[in-house]
Every structure is written in C-alpha cells, then in structure tokens.
Structure 1
C-alpha cells in the first residue's frame, strides 16, 4: 500500500470554524491518513494511502474536490498561490458598492451630532439596505447554510443571523408603525455591518497576498523559456520541455533555466535566491550552476543535470510550502476552541435576548443587543493568528537563506538552550590538507624523502570520497606525482579504507583502527602523539603482510576554521546558550581546534564515531536532577542525519564541496527541520531568532484574539456596543492580526 499526498486550494473559507469543517469533510474520505487545512493560504495538504495500484492521484484528487464542494466551499487549483502580483484594489468593487449604499443610511447619525435631522423615509432606507443585505451579503447566507447542513457554524452564519435579525426587525417596525409616525429603524446597522465585514475581508485578503509573497517570488525565479543548442542551431523552448543532458546557452543577465554544469565560458553568478548571500560567485568550466540564479557578465554554455521537481529551486519551494502548509502544535488549541466556539456564541446570543426581554425591555432592544453579540463574536482572528505568523516568518527566513521545513521546528527552536555542532564542514572549512607525511622506516626523514610513500597513499585514497582522502590526492598532485588506480577498495566505516596498490594490500586509517588490528608498537606512536598534541589529525598507512599488519607511514592533516565562526559562537554564548563541538578527531586535535574557535575544554566531545553522534545528542538532552535540555544539532553530511533527527531541532548546513556540489547535504536536509542554505554559522542565531519572533507573534495574535472575544462579547451582551460598532471591531480584529504578523517581514538576521 503506497502513500500519496497532494495540495488542493479551497475558496470561501472565512474563519477557524470553516477550517475545522473542511478538515472533517476530507478526513471522512476512505484512505485519508492526515489532512491539514491552512486558512491563510486557503489550501489543504492531504495524505492518503492508495488501496490499490489502480487508485491513482488523479482519482483521489477528484474525490477531495467533491468533498470540498459538498462541504460548501470552492475547490481551487493548488497553483492559485503562484499567480503573479495583482492590483492593490482588486476585489474592492463589492465594498465600494456597499459604501455607496450604506453612506446615506449613516448620514442621520452624523446629522444628530450636528443637531440636524436627516432621517430618510423608511422606504428609501429599505431600498438602500436590501441590496446590501441580500445581494452583497449573499455569500454569508450561502456559507452559513452549508455550515448548518454540516451541523456546525462559522463566521458567515453569525453575520447572516445577526444582520438578518436587524433587517427583519426594521421591516417589522416599519410595517406595524402607525401611518405618518416617525419610527427608529435599524436598516443602517445591518447594511453597515455587512459593508464593514466585506471591507475587513478585503483588507485581510490584501494582507494574505503579502504573506504569500515569498512563494510567489520563488516561483517567479523560474524563467519561462530556455535556449538550447541543437543540430539546427540555438532554439528557444519552454522549460517544461528541457531534458537532462541538453546544452543551454545563457546570456548575461538571464536566469539559468535548470541545474547543471558549465561547459564553456566563465562568469559571475548571483545566487542570492539560493543562499541569501548577495555577493556574486565566480563560475568557470566544470562549476555547478543552479536554476533560478542570475548570470552575470559572461555568456556561458551549460549542460542540464536536473529539471522540474528535481532542481534545487524546486526543493526550496517545496520546503517553504511544506512549512507554510503545516500546523504548529499551538494550533491544536485553536482547533479545539473553534470546534465549540460558534455553538457557544449562539447560546450566548439567545441568553442575551432572553435576559434583556425578561428584565422588562422591549423585543426591539433585546434583539439589537443579541445582534451585537452575534456580530462581534467572529472567530476569524483565531483562525488567522497562527498561520499568518508562520507564513510571514518562514517567508522572510527563506529570503535570507534559512529554510524552515516544518512548523514544529519553528515553534521549538526558540526554546533551544544547547547547540551542538559537528566540527568538520560545519565549524571548519571541511577541506583538510595534508600537513606532513613521515616514513616509518626513516622516522627522521623529511617529507621530500617520503614522496614514494605519498604516491602509494594517493593511489589508495583515489578510490575514496573522504575529505582526508581528497587531501592526500591533492598533495600528490601538487608534487606532480602520479598515482595508479587501486583495486578491491573497501571503506571501513569510522576507521578508514583498504585496497590493493601494485600488488600490495594497503590500509590507511585512524590510530584506533591500527590498535584494533594489532599493529606492532614502534617509534611511529611517539611521532603520532606529538602531531596530535600540536592539533593535527593523524592517520596511519599500513600494509598487510604474511607477518601481520605493519605500519608504513604517519600522515598529519589540518583544517581551518570558517571565517566568522569565532564571532558567531561568541554571540550564541551571549544569548545564554550552552555550546558543544562533536568531532571524530582525537582529543588533542579536537581541543586544539576548539581553542582556535573560542570553545571551552568542557564543550568538546572528541573521538565520537559517526554512529554515536545521535546517542551523544540524546545524552546532552538529559539533565540529571533538572528539566531536560532542548538541543539543536548543526551538521552538514550524510553521517550527521541520525543526530539531526535525534535533536529537538536539526539544522542542516548546505555546504558546497570543491566541485560545487552539496555532497551529503540533501540527506541531511531530509532529516533536519531547518536548512541553512549557506555554510555560515551566524545563520544558526538567525534561525533561533526568527523562531522566537514568530512564536511571539503567534502568542500576541492568539492573546488579542481571545481577549477581543472575552471582552467584546460581554460588552455587547450588556448593551455597551451597537451592531455597527461591533461590526467595525470584528473587522478590525482580523486586519490587526494580519498586520501584526506582517511586521515579521521587516526582520533581518
């Protein structure tokens, strides 16, 4: 049984109750395993189990669309967020009509302030208010009716009931009043409430478009066409027709249409969309280029390596969309409240009506206070509080190269009190160089006399992808030494590699491995200890002989800290965070590097095997006698994936290797909740900071949404708020939540 997932757009949702109803409708479908509806993006992320090979994605999506329509909403294409920017006044026409029709109705209110009596005849009030009530307000009746059919309620039902009650009361008072009598009617209340609600929804829609700017901007990075080289010359084709292996011509100022490698020419490339780094990157023959990045001053020819959904840009878009579609754990509270909110409000409105009536007030007065309760109690703000903040936070973070994969990582990251770093490639450049090679047979010999041994080592290591192996090969190339292809190469995880070179079975790896293999003690041990004391990473090359494994040479490697790491770690410590460095190096080498990085001795964990990193992270999480620590782990390779998954928050660092490729970063990205798109440790503080600010906005929004209803409903029930004031306050609550969330767009790391 396979698992499938898809996104579907949903039009017509207005509040948290709508979200709950759509989720219930979709969850009832057979095979659906999970559904998450997002009010801010007006979309749903659905995962289901296909019961048979014949049940494809298209069939299930048809069922999803039918369920959405049966629930009273409009199924939309998931690509509705990809549309380009629209005009600032789009969708304002109904609001403008409502304002024109409601304006004359509220003139008497202004006239009373000026001492004038501008009351319109009842017939004119009826003619102005009725189109607003039943034409402009038709959307509320439609959505409210579907809510009733589904046995639930929503904002539309509250507005429809409240305004209809005000309109019907006015008609009844008008028709039952004595001839020529001047009776106070409430047509203006119903018309103005509907107009204000429409105005609030229009302002809310404008704000929503701003929260989805990040997704739209990412989609806009993809050029529509590409220029390929064929046997007939250069031909423009849509990028949807690109194939892996095609050769493309990219002119200065154009965007690269796909991921690939440069075949001809050199240029500077703006990769800010990928890394958040504004400085251009030099590219020449053999360099990797990423689709969506901007070519500089040079004309280049590239070969396509990835297209469509397999490109780096597509992966970035998918990560941002996943984060914005997901629900934060705090949203569960909102879902629970919204499930009972509207029924409770209806009961409170009925209690308000009866209470005023039983205390001697007229039906007219009682009904007006009941209407005020119905109008002000809108769950819109509750439904928008969390997703609006998450969308704004993840969007601005992506702009600066911080990709937040899921909402849970975003919510937990601000609680982190301990940050653990993998050393190689994360805190250091990750491209160690060979400092020295010492022949065991002549321990005092210089490197010059050890060149033949270097050739053997380079031959063995040419079959390995390990950074230390690469350093040996590069050192041999620098000495213009030839090396031969090894045979029967075998990597021994966590120890080194073994292979046959010119008939000799050679091994090259760690001191621990040599000890386990029983290499005879000798003078090489003192040399290795001395090099480790100096901070070098030491490997031993040995040979399997009939007499056993014999040491041949001692190799010393060194790495360099990344620029700015010392300052970045100092800032993290200033935030009150505990730091830890995890390294597979020996204690001496790890401590020496830690000193250069500004880390303390007790913050270093050395000689940690790749498979033991996850266990160490779990040990850091435990706090004997106190609350457990919240640990973030920062790594960049395949062997960091278990630790990234074990940490409370995993941060994968997307380093580029010497060939311009991301190496094991793709695996790390899948295990981590947050991806840093460039190898800058300073982004760790940025990720924690945007988490704290986003969670703060969520809490502010939820606080004001709850307080607004907690204060507004009693005030309306006690008669301190008229329906018009209640409608204005209700519209303002949703707009204020969206505006508060949009303040996150001003954030910079």
Structure 2
C-alpha cells in the first residue's frame, strides 16, 4: 500500500473583511487540482492549503488574486558562498524552490548571489537553513554581506599567496619533464616528490575537498567532485606505486599537483575578471555619500544619510557629490551627471531645478530641499534596475541549466567507462586510471555556469554606465529582433518645451481666454500647460482658482468658474464632444496646422471660444537618430495625438515614412498591435503617462529617462540621456550582449564536445586537461569583458564601434 505524504502550504492573505470572504476563498482554493483541504483564518489572515502532491506557490497566489484578495510578497537577495560551477547553481535553485512559501529563486554564479521571491512571512532563517543543508553558506545583506574594499583586497592577497605557494611547490615536480625536453636526465627524489605534491594536494587543494564533501553530503555533485576525484586518483596511484611497487616507470605526483595549481590559477583569473564585469555596480554604489551637511532649526550639522528626512535643507559645496534627491532652493552650478545619465558634459542647474543623488557639484554652492531618500532616489532605482537585470536569466539559459543538472553525473559515468574500457583493452590499470583522471578534470562545467551571467553583467553594466538601463535578460533577446521603432512625438523627438506662438478667440478677449486656459493648467507639468502658464506669467495675469478640476489623459482638462464649465482639449476632445468651431476659428487653425503647430481648444459650456497654437521644434539630435536606425535596417514610425498635418510635417522634416496622428492613449496601443500583426517586431519609444499602454503593448518598450515614472515602469529599457540617438545605441549594446551570450555558450559546449573524446581516447594527459579546463572558464569571462570596452556611437560626438 502506497503511503501519501501530505504537502502543506501556508499563505498570508490581505483583503479579507468578513466570514463571507473566508468562505469564498476556501471554496476557490478547494477547487484547485490536487488540494485536499483549504482552511482560511480571518483572525490570523492566513490560508493553510493541504495536498497530496507539491503545489506551485505561484499557482495558488494566482487563484487568490483571481478571487479578489492578495498575498503579500517580498524579494530577498542573499550572498552565497561555496559555489563553483553550473551544477552548484542548478542544485541550489532546486533546493530553494522546494521551500514552503518560495515563489521563485534565481542564483547567479558570476555575482554569487541568490534572488528569492517568496510570500511575506517566509523567514530569512528558513532560507539560510535550506542553503546550508544544500552544502553552501548564505549571508544576509544586513550581516555584512557587502564586502568592504579592505576585506576584498585581503581575500585577493590570500588567494594570490596560496597560488604562489602552489606554483613554487609544483615547479620542481615539472623540472624532470622540462629537462627531458633538452635531452637531460634529471629525477627528483621520490620523497621530495611526495612532500611537495602533498603540500599542494592538501593545502591548495583543500578547497576542492571541502566543496566536494559539501556536495556529496547532500547527494549532489559539482566541479569540486570532479577535481577532487581526479587529482586524488593521480596522487593515490603515485603513492601506491612508490610504497608498494619496487619497479615503476613513472610517478604521477606532478600531474595531481599541476592540475590543482592550474585550476586554482584559472579560478584566480576568473575572480579577477568577474570583478571587472561587476565594476558598474560598484561604481554606482560608490556615488552615494555617507553623510550630508543639514540645516535644522537654524543650526548646521553633519548627519548620516539614514538620519535625514524629507524636506531637510541640505548644503552641497563645490566638488562634493549630491547626497539626496532634491530641488535647488538657492544657488547655481554645473553638475557632472555622467555616471547617472551617460552625458559627458556638465549640466547647468539653478534654483527650481531637480538634482539626483551621486551627481558631482561643480563650481557653485547649492542649497537643496530633500525630495527623496534611500531606496526612493534615482540612483537607488538605477542600481536596483541594473542588479535585477544582472540576476535575471534569458530563456536560453533555462536549457543550459537543464544540461548542467545532469552534466556532472554523466561525466562520472564517462570516467568509469573510460577506466573500464582502457583496462579491458590493454590490461594495464595505470594508463586506464590516468585517462579517467583526464576525463574528470577536463569536464569541469564552470564555463557553462559563467557563460551567460558574465556576458549579462558586462553588457548591462556597460549599458548602465552610458545611461541605458535594461530591465532583465529577456530584453536582450527581444532587442536583437527589433525591426521597427515607433517614436512618440512630444518630448521624445521634439524638445518637449513648446511655446505659445498664436491664439484666437471669439465672444471673449484673447487675454480672458489665456487667463482661463492657464487657470485650468495651474500646477500641471504637461508641456502645453507649462507653455500657457509661462505666457500668462509674461502678461502678469492673476489666475483664478477653478473648482471641480479633472483631467482625462489624452483628451484634456476641465473645471468650473463662475458657474460655467470650461475645458481645454485637443482635437480629439472636440470630436468626442461633437463640437464644431466657428468658421473664423477653423480658418485660423488651418493656417496653424499648415505650419506644423499643435493646437488646443478652449470650450465654454458647449461653445468653442478660442484656440491656442504651440510650436515645439524637433531636437537637434532627432534627424541623426532616425537616420542611424534606418541605416541599421530598422523601419521608423511616428505616433502622436497631435493633428494630422502637424505630425505629417514633423515626419517629413525628420525623414520618417510612416506615421499615425490624432490617436488617443489606448489607440496608440492599438497602432502598435496593428504593426505587430504586419510582421514587425516593434520597439516603442515614449516618455509620458499616455505612452504607457503602447510601451506595455510593444515587443520592446523604451522610456526616455526625462519622462514619467509610469512610462519607466512600463518599459523594458530606460534611457537616462534625453537624447533620441541613444535608442540606436541601446539596441546595439543589447545585440552585442546577446551575441556574446551565444558565443560563450557555443565555446563552452564545443570545448566539452571536442575535449571529452580526446580525454577518453587518451590524447590529453591530466596536466593538459587542467590547463584546458582553466582556460575555458577564463576565456568565456574574458570574451564577455570585451563588452566593457563598448562606447555608444554618439558618445562625445565620435563613433567607437
């Protein structure tokens, strides 16, 4: 009789208010396939689900969400110690995903971190214990997981010292072989061979034994198992021959010692290269000052950033970094924002301008009002975006993980077949064992584990250094297929600072019309609203306060004044309201449209009383941006809610051959769908709230960093430089990174495809196998590091690639 083990999952629930909520949730959870019982407790706000088989937590959360409730979640990032290869990554991910309450777990060999998404009440200790049971060590960020520069240097110095010691012990063992190349006969005494080899085997090689034992103890296998088995076999064979065989042709102490030294050397080079791939994150983290000069209650004092509050008045002297996100309330200067935006030239800042943490103040003294702190600063969000991208795995990596999971066991079986086959065909145990050692050593899966994360770290880090933020690794594969880029017009291809250039009114004076239009836009950050406010300010108009003001995205704004409802709308607003302007107004507007200007209409009640025309010239870089994309074989389109003639004139001016005008926000998304159905892989570039649906609908959403948080959240890429030429640069670095991933995976696989048969058939001795194994890991990381040399085409006005 088969005994079933009950699986139990406990989920915290938000949104329950009464017994009816409990009943409904228990009912929908009970219908999930495999669930035997579901109990929901209103007092503790938890649901306990039991089943006969494991249930994915993500599926249960989806059911809870569909029922109208929610499961609070959290993301935990842990530093992992003791990983050495792709097999370690695969095992650790499996162990973490099996933990109750864990939704997903991604482990990165290059960063040596695990990113775990779990329900909110999963304890850190639970995860750390699971990692420990798997044979590794997890460290929380709060527990000094961020290694200081001094600690990092000490570790590198220790590794270097061990490497030098191993090389000094190995060199004498290689002297007889080197002497034989010159026809000389030299043999190191056997005792000294054993002593030197033992120092390397159990000193330098101790890390491999420790890692192998941790893996074997939990029923797993990894690179350490292969190295420990192979070198121990060579060392043990030599020891046996020395002690028990009076007549032996050769001892293999030099093979075991050389393999360990070469593998250690490869890991040392690999660590150095991995440090370079994560240089971008460290450079960004170094931008955050630890203290700020704050003025409180008339007194100035140095305070740790953790003690600062929103609204604090902060002083920044010349040559200091900006410690907070804020608004300049006094002073003027030039700021170096190159590490944040990729813009090499200093940016002029004055009172009223926003500044970001990490920017370097130039020549002036600035006083700031703090608007964002800690994780809410732009710098913190950039770091989080880069770390998220570097932790993510592209779809191709999932196949690699499946291979890595069975790779080491297959190699162990292959080594067993090698020693058995050679012994059966030759009757000699010594060469059979040595060939099996070569198989074990050559087949290290380090290169497989590093191929993808090393390229992603280098590529996304380099992109971030030049103001291009990539959301996740899947974006890289999408960017490579893009063959159409759709630009929003206002603020993306245009300067985004239109000015009021003409107006006309009927029934009221033009000044009265401007007064009402500017009043409707009071407090608005919309470019056209700002233009109206500036025009009213220039005429010293005293704006009234309207009541019941409401805004409809893509349509306009309306409010009441003196019992009359006024509305300021675009062309689509007139269509929706089914209003027709008087002929005199219509004639004036036609002239504005012919000049490519944008028009807004003022409505009083149900009557159109005025229009306002705005001129927003294209950015100086816009034409070059379009031409560069077209030279890459990418079709360019223009998408805007403006009038047909205005959009057409802009398209003609910039050389764009396809466009869609007078479209509402939801219609922008429909236009993207239409182009996708025509077979295009579409990237959408926008910067406003009304662009968010189109950004989300496109294959690849690209937000300009000067835009809204909504646009940035909807986009797969964010360009911190407000320069449309950066779109072409972003696609180039994404393609290069994707290409490096494929190159690395190709070489990692081809290396084993070629090397393993050579080792099986006796064409590689253990020393050559060790050197080749070390070279394979270093080569994929070095190949990835080529990405760090990339420069955007439009950086400082010259092309590098």
TM-score by length of structure 2 reads: 0.87
Unaligned runs of 5+ in 1: 443-448, 656-661
| Cα distance in structure 1, aligned partners of 2:254 and 2:576 | 89
| Cα distance in structure 1, aligned partners of 2:236 and 2:756 | 22
Give the corresponding residue for 2:357: 291
Q: Is 2:653 the counterpart of 1:596?
A: yes
Of 183, 188, 191, the residue aligned with 2:257 is: 191
Q: Is 2:461 the counterpart of 1:418?
A: no
Q: Is 2:717 the counterpart of 1:674?
A: yes
Q: How does 1:402-551 map to 2 (within 5 A)?
A: 402-441=468-507, 450-462=510-522, 464-519=524-579, 522-523=582-583, 524-544=585-605, 549-551=606-608
Give the corresponding residue for 2:108: 38
Give the corresponding residue for 1:156: 224
> What SS is found at the alignment partner of 1:147?
helix
Of 365, 371, 381, the residue aligned with 2:447 is: 381
**515-524 vs 427-436, which moves further:** 515-524
Give the corresponding residue for 1:110: 178
Of 136, 141, 164, the residue aligned with 2:204 is: 136
Q: State the Cα distance separating 1:533 from its structure 2 match.
A: 2.8
Give the corresponding residue for 1:96: 164
Of 737, 755, 780, the residue aligned with 1:694 is: 737
Judge conservation of contact 2:554–2:690 (CA < 8 Å) in 1. no
> What SS is found at the alignment partner of 1:248?
strand
Give the corresponding residue for 1:613: 668
| Structure 2 CA distance for partners of 1:463 and 1:198, relative to 1, 3 Å | closer
Judge conservation of contact 1:403–1:676 (CA < 8 Å) in 2. yes
| Cα distance in structure 1, aligned partners of 2:520 and 2:382 | 38
Judge conservation of contact 2:571–2:662 (CA < 8 Å) in 1. no
Judge conservation of contact 2:700–2:715 (CA < 8 Å) in 1. yes
Judge conservation of contact 1:84–1:216 (CA < 8 Å) in 2. no
| Cα distance in structure 2, aligned partners of 1:382 and 1:326 | 16
Q: State the Cα distance separating 1:153 from its structure 2 match.
A: 1.6
Of 696, 699, 703, the residue aligned with 1:645 is: 696
Report Cα offsets for 1:1-36 as digits up to 9, x if no partner: 211111001111111001011111111210100000
Judge conservation of contact 2:310–2:370 (CA < 8 Å) in 1. yes
| Cα distance in structure 1, aligned partners of 2:456 and 2:655 | 35
Q: How does 1:67-466 map to 2 (within 5 A)?
A: 67-78=130-141, 80=145, 83-84=148-149, 86-87=152-153, 89=157, 91-178=159-246, 181=247, 183-231=249-297, 233-441=299-507, 450-462=510-522, 464-466=524-526
Give the corresponding residue for 1:636: 687
> What SS is found at the alignment partner of 2:159?
coil
Judge conservation of contact 1:82–1:215 (CA < 8 Å) in 2. no
| Cα distance in structure 2, aligned partners of 1:228 and 1:465 | 29
| Cα distance in structure 2, aligned partners of 1:93 and 1:235 | 45
Report Cα offsets for 1:32-55 as digits up to 9, x if no partner: 0000000000001000113xxxx3
Report Cα offsets for 1:607-665 as digits up to 9, x if no partner: 11012222221221112xxxx3211111111221222122111111011xxxxxx5x2x
Q: Is 2:128 the counterpart of 1:65?
A: yes
TM-score by length of structure 1 reads: 0.93
**631-640 vs 35-44, which moves further:** 631-640
| Structure 2 CA distance for partners of 1:28 and 1:479, relative to 1, 3 Å | same
| Structure 2 CA distance for partners of 1:112 and 1:66, relative to 1, 3 Å | same
Judge conservation of contact 1:460–1:500 (CA < 8 Å) in 2. no
| Cα distance in structure 1, aligned partners of 2:763 and 2:576 | 83
**217-226 vs 109-118, which moves further:** 109-118
Give the corresponding residue for 1:17: 87
| Cα distance in structure 2, aligned partners of 1:310 and 1:652 | 19
| Cα distance in structure 2, aligned partners of 1:71 and 1:160 | 19
| Cα distance in structure 1, aligned partners of 2:685 and 2:158 | 45
> What SS is found at the alignment partner of 1:427?
coil
Judge conservation of contact 1:141–1:160 (CA < 8 Å) in 2. yes
> What SS is found at the alignment partner of 2:492?
helix
Judge conservation of contact 2:571–2:642 (CA < 8 Å) in 1. no
Give the corresponding residue for 1:658: none
Judge conservation of contact 2:572–2:662 (CA < 8 Å) in 1. no
> What SS is found at the alignment partner of 2:491?
helix
Give the corresponding residue for 1:715: 758
Report Cα offsets for 1:367-396 as digits up to 9, x if no partner: 111111110011000100000000000111
Q: State the Cα distance separating 1:107 from its structure 2 match.
A: 0.8
Give the corresponding residue for 1:573: 630
> What SS is found at the alignment partner of 2:763?
coil
> What SS is found at the alignment partner of 1:236?
strand
Unaligned runs of 5+ in 2: 1-70, 793-801
Q: State the Cα distance separating 1:80 from its structure 2 match.
A: 4.3
| Cα distance in structure 2, aligned partners of 1:511 and 1:184 | 91
Q: State the Cα distance separating 1:353 from its structure 2 match.
A: 1.0
Bigger RCO of structures 1 and 2 (CA < 8 A, at least 6 apart): 1
| Structure 2 CA distance for partners of 1:518 and 1:326, relative to 1, 3 Å | closer
| Cα distance in structure 2, aligned partners of 1:521 and 1:647 | 36
Give the corresponding residue for 1:731: 774
| Cα distance in structure 2, aligned partners of 1:22 and 1:692 | 30
